[in-house]
Chain A
Amino acid sequence: MAATTHRLHEVPDDLLAAIDWCYEQGWTDGLPVVPPIPERVNAMLAAEARPPETVIARHPATGLDLSLYSAAVNAVMAGCLPEYFPVVVAAFEAMDKPDFNFHGSTASTGGSAPLVVVSGPYAEAIGMNADVNLFGPGNRANGTIGRATRLILRNVFQMLPGISDKSTQGNPGKYSFCIAERSRGNPWPLLCEAQGYAEGTSSVTVFAGGGFCNVENHGGNTPEQVLITVADAMANYGCITLGQSVVVLAPEHMKIVADAGWTRERVQDFLFSEARRSVEGMKRAGKFLDREYQKQHGEGAHALAAAGFVHRGLMPEDILVTMGGGDAGGHSCFIPSWSRGRASLLQHQPIAPRADSKTS
């Protein structure tokens, strides 16, 4: 690979001093970073076939570009290995799609963090965790891919807390928010398959996640019992909007659902139908907006949208449902979308195999 000609800084030839120097530059998320020496950056870039100058995302307001080179520098700082780099790249190619609106979802008081969901064989090939402690801690790939996403938002796009990132309360996912979809024991088509990618092609799905809500149910033994708890979390007054949802079913819950023959589509229909609040209740909470109600119930409304109720989302397909987590425990989760509406929508992107073919 040709040597990169980008800006280099001379720092003391001491690793700890270099870490401190990175802090002084304002390059970190508050945690120490791996000093981005050229050798590691070039090793990261070797995982990508395109030239380092290739632009993969652009900030719509400031015009700041994300090149593969800058992505690689930040991936090194986050602690990524080169085999993780195609996932970081695909995540930003997905986030660059206008409907994801990464500027708004990052800058907003709503405080969302980009959830990165990796689906397909590439997740296992690079050692990602889809199992126990799904959301962390403990796995380098999950932790550092998510962290690279944050560092890029900070360093490349200058989404700085308190300045251009005005999140009211922040979000622990802003340090890292990355999981793999569990394929072991998964009775449904994987997300990458449902998204229409060719067999063997993995994908990254990105979602501006507003937080994390644990959904506990150890007593329910039917799909309806399990899913009504999920729907209730989705419809709580603090979360209900016309926005999209991510639901990660624990294997225990998935077994109950799948053993009864429920498909992903049936689960989506059930959750959309049940995740709702009455118009009166929404008014009582001061959250009813007639224009939103009309959007959900007016022309083109989904058949499951019941009159007199506000549902979460506009249609069942607004609910991404998959499986993840350890074998034991009736703990699923619901992740609400950013803020109040549909200003950021789920996006996905295929993962390009490593250019140097060390992992495929």
Chain B
Amino acid sequence: MQLCSPLSTAPKRKAFRAPPLATLDGARIGVLENGKLNAEAMLNEVAQLFVQRHGCTVRTLASKKNASAPAPGNTLTTVAQEVDFLITGLGD
């Protein structure tokens, strides 16, 4: 007996991890806030730790309109040009 596979027929998308930064010192941080109840406060708190410990600068605060949907491509494209790394996360 033959059975058809119910899985997606789409080819598996290749994903790559970004290379690690050589150093955090003086790096520019992006913060992507998701609109949840405590997200902005929590993410800014985390960003401030990087500021204190590594002299990072917070360059960008972007917000997602919808916490549960991927960030719009143009948001990520814009932020990527302005920062060295991005902090994001939920905040409930």
Main secondary structure of the interface of B (DSSP, over half): loop
Q: In the complex, are the beta carbons of A73 and B1 less than 8 A apart?
A: no
Q: In the complex, are the beta carbons of A9 and B3 less than 8 A apart?
A: yes
Interface string of B1-16 (1 = CB under 8 A from A): 1111111111001000
Q: Write out the residue numbers on chain A whose beta carbons fall within 8 Å of the beta carbon of B66.
A: 101, 104, 343
| A262 CA / B1 CA spacing, docked (Å) | 58
Question: What residue in chain A is nearest B13 (Cβ atoms)?
Answer: A63
Please name 21 pairs of A and B residues whose Cβ atoms are closer than 8 Å in the assembled complex, sorted by A. Answer: A8-B2, A8-B4, A9-B2, A9-B5, A11-B3, A22-B3, A37-B1, A37-B3, A38-B4, A61-B70, A63-B10, A63-B13, A70-B7, A73-B5, A101-B68, A104-B67, A104-B68, A104-B69, A107-B68, A108-B68, A289-B37
Question: What residue in chain B is nearest A18 (Cβ atoms)?
Answer: B1
| A158 CA / B6 CA spacing, docked (Å) | 11
Taking each of B1, B7, B9, B70, which has the highest tally of chain A beta carbons within 10 Å of its own beta carbon? B9
Q: Does A251 contact B (CB under 8 A)?
A: no
Q: In the complex, are the beta carbons of A8 and B5 less than 8 A apart?
A: yes
Q: Does A197 contact B (CB under 8 A)?
A: no
Number of interface residues of B (CB under 8 A): 17
Q: In the complex, are the beta carbons of A35 and B1 less than 8 A apart?
A: yes
| A103 CA / B3 CA spacing, docked (Å) | 28
Interface string of A63-105 (1 = CB under 8 A from B): 1111101100110110000000000000000000010010111
Q: Write out the residue numbers on chain A whose beta carbons fall within 8 Å of the beta carbon of B1.
A: 10-14, 18, 35, 37
Interface string of A37-81 (1 = CB under 8 A from B): 110010000000000010100001111111101100110110000
Size category of the binding interface on chain A: 35 or more
| A177 CA / B13 CA spacing, docked (Å) | 31
| A35 CA / B8 CA spacing, docked (Å) | 17
Q: Does A4 contact B (CB under 8 A)?
A: yes
List chain A positions with a Cβ less than 8 A from chain B.
4, 6-14, 18, 21-22, 27, 35-38, 41, 53, 55, 60-67, 69-70, 73-74, 76-77, 98, 101, 103-105, 107-108, 151, 155-158, 289, 343
Q: In the complex, are the beta carbons of A35 and B6 less than 8 A apart?
A: no
Q: Scan residues 13-69 of chain B and give those whose CB is less than 8 A from a CB of chain A.
A: 13, 37, 66-69
Q: In the complex, are the beta carbons of B9 and A151 less than 8 A apart?
A: no
| A11 CA / B6 CA spacing, docked (Å) | 15
Q: In the complex, are the beta carbons of A73 and B2 less than 8 A apart?
A: no
Taking each of B1, B8, B37, which has the highest tally of chain A beta carbons within 10 Å of its own beta carbon? B8
Q: In the complex, are the beta carbons of B3 and A36 less than 8 A apart?
A: yes
Question: What residue in chain B is nearest A152 (Cβ atoms)?
Answer: B6
Question: How near does chain A come to B12, taking the closest CB pair, in angstroms?
Answer: 9
Partner of B6, one of A70, A98, A101: A70
Q: Write out the residue numbers on chain A whose beta carbons fall within 8 Å of the beta carbon of B68.
A: 101, 103-105, 107-108, 343
> 5 nearest interchain CB pairs?
A104-B68, A65-B10, A155-B6, A7-B5, A63-B13
Once A9-B3, A35-B3, A38-B4 are accepted as A-B contacts, the answer to whether A70 and B70 lie under 8 Å apart by CB is no
| A208 CA / B77 CA spacing, docked (Å) | 30
